Amino acid sequence: MSSSHASTGCHQQPTGNELDADISELLAMLAEVPDPRDPRGVQYALVYVLAVAVVAVLAGATSIAEVARAVARIPQRMLAKLGAERDWFRLRYAYPSRTTIGDILTRIDADLLDKIIGRWLMVHAWRDTDGMLVIALDGKVLRGAWTDDNSQVTLFSAMLHGTGIPVAQIRVPDGTNEITQVKALIGTIDVAPAQPRMATLDAAHTQRDTATQLKAAGWDYLMTVKGNQPTLQTEVAAVCRPLLTRPPDHHVEEKGHGRIKRWSTWTAPAGDIDFPHLSQVAIIRRDTFDLLGSPIAKEFALIITSSTPEMCTPADIHTHTRGQWGIENKVHWIRDVVWNEDHNQTHTGNTAQAFAGLKNLALGLIRLKGITTIKATIEDIASDRYQALPVMAT
């Protein structure tokens, strides 16, 4: 056993009722992941290895080496809670080494891990919730992770609007791009057939095939229109430009960071614009002022959606559009700032994707508790491992 465990973990004591936290649902979910190892000679159950890895990621571990060091500092009573078996020769609970953790994350079925994690987070995030289910789709290049074919690893994710909880993730196959993977990503999300649902996408995904595939799968879409679709952009702008002469259909103003921002939204029927299943078009103008009211900037966004005015009002279009813009800040930026993802050069086997899946799980667990101070929570858990247990409880 490492000396760090003896000097740190053994003396740490729970400050409250952390050991009473019910983490059984989380452990049951992790137990669904198939073990890639030969069962002969396996020392630690896969569910236990994944559980301690989740604690390490919740404590801010940014690499396999850091995961191993963080695991070595988990207190003995907490190891028992996570499913450790007693080492009767050394009279303590054992924990997996860096080699064991790295071997598992390298060989694990990362696609299935992502699906199991996303499905579990979706169930818990959408529990007892009514209304339209809205998710944001976006891709992320892991800039430090490379494949054996000298290609960067790209992941394509879905985030639940409002909560910022990641509910799906797939790896984009080498030699292609995320635009081709919308159907595959949507297919991993379990939704009741009658559930009204919408996917929001940035301009790169404003494609006829994407719109067709989403509607065929029962999803409405809301997309931004830019110059990569020049004909569509011209047609939508021609419908929207005259709308600016009348008062907006929706208006909201916010003050913060020394600025006043005002969003105005106009909508109109799509008319004869040739795009699959298109129902409405919209234009959103964002005006930025200083605190004295002097104008600083003005921006316009063109929006299209397959959803009807009854299901998607001007206020909804404004909210969903801003929700799509938020995936960068709520998921990608968090994974970069908290877990230093863009600088992580993990690349062996499935490690990069599996590690990203554990980060999604950690982020989802924190957000399921309604916690918005992500970095502070990670720091608290890093200083007191027992604080991870209430976050992991359901």
Cite the DSSP H helix spans in 82-181: 98-107, 110-125
3 state DSSP class of 61 = coil
Mean pLDDT for all residues in the chain: 90
- Cα(122)–Cα(139) distance, integer angstroms: 19
- Cα(338)–Cα(379) distance, integer angstroms: 10
Are 339 and 57 spatial neighbours (Cβ–Cβ below 8 Å)? yes
What is the separation of C-alpha 181 from the centre of its chain, rounded to a whole number of angstroms?
16
The stretch 302-314 carries a mean pLDDT of 97
Are 345 and 352 spatial neighbours (Cβ–Cβ below 8 Å)? no
Element (H, E) at 307: none
Dump pLDDT digits (tens) for 27-47. Answer: 999 999 999 999 988 999 999
What residue has token string 């938020």? 326
Residue type, 232: L
Read off the pTM. 0.89
Closest of 161, 104, 105 to residue 129, by C-alpha:
161
Q: How confident is the model at residue 148 (pLDDT cuts 50, 70, 90)?
A: low
Q: How confident is the model at residue 143 (pLDDT cuts 50, 70, 90)?
A: low
Q: Count Cα neighbours of 371 within 13 Å in the Cβ-side half-sphere.
A: 19
Hey, which residues does 113 pair with through a beta bridge?
none
Between strands 250-256 and 259-269, the pairing is antiparallel
Q: Is the pLDDT of residue 266 over 80?
A: yes
- Cα(102)–Cα(106) distance, integer angstroms: 6
Dump pLDDT digits (tens) for 171-198. Answer: 999 888 999 999 999 999 999 889 999 9
Q: How confident is the model at residue 310 (pLDDT cuts 50, 70, 90)?
A: very high
- Cα(243)–Cα(155) distance, integer angstroms: 38
End-to-end CA gap in the chain: 32
Dump pLDDT digits (tens) for 84-129. Answer: 998 888 889 999 999 999 999 999 999 999 999 999 999 999 887 8
